[in-house]
Structure formats: structure tokens, C-alpha cells
């Protein structure tokens, strides 16, 4: 593989920041939840099982990494994924680790071995 096929240094740094932001169970739950549609802090609070302040801090980490963005509607703030494919990425990892079938695009199947692919 030629070095020109790799991400540029700034792109690698941004990817690293995204991966670091995902490295917490509560943030993974948030990503899975808003991957299905927008949610406000109180919705996410129920999913994560933490107080509003803690959920807001997790959202700030995800927002600073560029994973989520927000939309204000009156007094409510709704969060959605800025990187829509990240929910599929998180789901794929969970499925592979649990030994469940994984749906992959045909172009990715040529390099897959040892996992249950649909």
C-alpha cells in the first residue's frame, strides 16, 4: 500500500480524537441512541442512567470531537450525529465481539475472515 493511500496527518489526528471520545460506555450508549434519531439530555439521561450534568459532560466530549451537533428548539437542545456512519461502526464492533451476524457492504466482504457475515 502506498503512503498516499493513508489519511493525512490532520485527518489522522481528528480520527484519533473521535476514537478517544468514543472510549466510554456512556458515550457509546449516547451514540447508539442518537444514531436512531435526535434526543435531548433528559432522553439520554434515562438511557445512560446518569444525572443531567454527567450526560451533558459526555455530550460536550462528543461535540468537541465533532461526533455530535446540537439544535436548539425553545428551551430544549436536541443532539444528533454529525458523523452518521459512526453508529453503524459502533454496532458492527458490538456484533462482531458478541459473535452476531454483521451486515457489510459487498466491497468490504473481500477482506473479511473469521466473522459471521450476512
What's the whole-number average pLDDT of the chain? 88
The residue with cell 473479511 is: 112
Write the pLDDT tens digit of every residue in 39-95. Answer: 999 999 999 999 999 999 999 999 999 999 999 999 999 999 999 899 989 988 988
Note whether 31 and 60 are same-domain residues: yes
Q: In sequence order, what DSSP letters do the residues of 35-79 get, joined into one string?
A: TSS-EEHHHHHHHHTS-HHHHHHHHHHHHHTTSEEEEEETTEEEE
Note whether 116 and 102 are same-domain residues: yes
Note whether 55 and 17 are same-domain residues: yes
- Give mean pLDDT, residues 32-37: 95
Q: Helix and strand tally (H, E) in the chain?
A: 6, 3
What distance in Å separates the CA atoms of residue 90 and residue 74, rounded to the nearest whole number? 31
Range of the domain at 107: 85-118
CA-to-CA separations, 105 to 10, 77, 108, 111, in angstroms, rounded:
27, 34, 6, 11
Say yes or no to pLDDT of 104 above 80: no
Count the residues in the chain: 118
- The proportion of the chain whose per-residue pLDDT surpasses 90, expressed as a percent, equals 64
The residue with cell 472510549 is: 23
Note whether 42 and 72 are same-domain residues: yes
Note whether 109 and 54 are same-domain residues: no
Per the structure, the count of domains in the chain is 2
User: What DSSP designation does 6 have?
Assistant: S
pLDDT band at 118 (very low <50, low <70, confident <90, very high): low
Residue 44 belongs to a domain with what CATH number? 1.10.10.10
Find out whether 31 and 22 touch, Cβ atoms under 8 Å: yes
Note whether 89 and 33 are same-domain residues: no
Note whether 52 and 93 are same-domain residues: no
Strand, helix or coil at 106? Answer: helix
Note whether 77 and 113 are same-domain residues: no
Say yes or no to pLDDT of 3 above 50: no
Amino acid at each position: 500500500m502506498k503512503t498516499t493511500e493513508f489519511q493525512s496527518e490532520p485527518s489522522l489526528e481528528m480520527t484519533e480524537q473521535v476514537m478517544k471520545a468514543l472510549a466510554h460506555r456512556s458515550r457509546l450508549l449516547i451514540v447508539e441512541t442518537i444514531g436512531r434519531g435526535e434526543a435531548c439530555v433528559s432522553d439520554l439521561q434515562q438511557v445512560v442512567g446518569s444525572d443531567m450534568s454527567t450526560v451533558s459532560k459526555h455530550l460536550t466530549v462528543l461535540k468537541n470531537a465533532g461526533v455530535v451537533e446540537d439544535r436548539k428548539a425553545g428551551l430544549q437542545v436536541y443532539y444528533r450525529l454529525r458523523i452518521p456512519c459512526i453508529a453503524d461502526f459502533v454496532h458492527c464492533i458490538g456484533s462482531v465481539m458478541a459473535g452476531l451476524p454483521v451486515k457489510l457492504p459487498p466491497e468490504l466482504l473481500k477482506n473479511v475472515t473469521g466473522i459471521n457475515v450476512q
